[in-house]
Chains A and B, each alone.
Chain A
Amino acid sequence: MDQFTVKVFVRLRPSVLDPAGEATKSASIKLGAEGIKSLRIGKMIEVKIEGNGENEVREKIDLLCDRLFANTVIEDYEYSLEKL
């Protein structure tokens, strides 16, 4: 069995308003940071998982992302995978 660390990033779709991101952007500007054009908040989920090769693990992660980690009505996801 191969071991992998997978980092999943879940973000609100670009068309969905992110009020928490807007509030944080506003605070960032108050802090004095200049040049911020956009600030969006998402989630990072780190999974340690084992399986027979990368393809099998990708299948499992795809299922998890699509059915649980993200609500694809409002969120997009992407992930990176590192073999341990």
Chain B
Amino acid sequence: MSGEIEISIKNLNLWFGNFQALKNINIEIQKNAVTALIGPSGCGKSTFIKTLDRMNDLVDNVKFTGEVIYKGRNILDSDTDVVELRKEIGMVFQKPNPFPKSIFDNVAYGPRVHGIRDKKTLHEIAERSLKGAAIWDEVKDRLNESALRLSGGQQQRLCIARLLAVEPDVLLMDEPASALDPIATSKIEDLLHELKKDYTIVIVTHNMQQAARVSSHTAFFWLGEIVEYASTIDLFERPRNKRTEDYVTGKFG
């Protein structure tokens, strides 16, 4: 695959207790591109994405081997500053999870945590982030309203704006549109096309059509392994592996 590599994963294995959830994962995530992860439930794709910002550390009995090389260092090393890492590699979840605060405070939260106090600067960051998440026009006159009053789709874009506010490099998205209606979903998908110009995006999705629409590369996970990783068009038009073929044509999964 051509293009600059943002994250390089080498021989990654992960266990929850005695259960091996990821098996010898080797994959290179392209910079400024959308990479989709597909596969049946329990195949390891969410576990994998959570490895990229060390969210699995929150689970008891987790153990991993291998390397996740980002900016020249292995982020699995025990001395990695995970707070700093999650500023650079942020996560959007399936269900929008805005804080029970105002729209402005949601977006300003991250910059404040990282020490920015100046109101003008915070406003500039909020506007830039909300614009980046394509929600500015909908909320610019109600920044002090509770974020919980927004629709589901707006809340999800607000969560993306909240990520952008801390200026990450990589956006991880775990089924970001699965709880949204088709219109809200298409807004998120359009947004991904814009965001990839400035960010590297990894998206987990159960919706294969969504993977086909938004991503340039797709990895098919099965039983903790990557069965096939290819350009999205190749994976959906002419998969090389029989199991990928069976999955994308709906014969199992």
Are A and B genuine complex partners? no
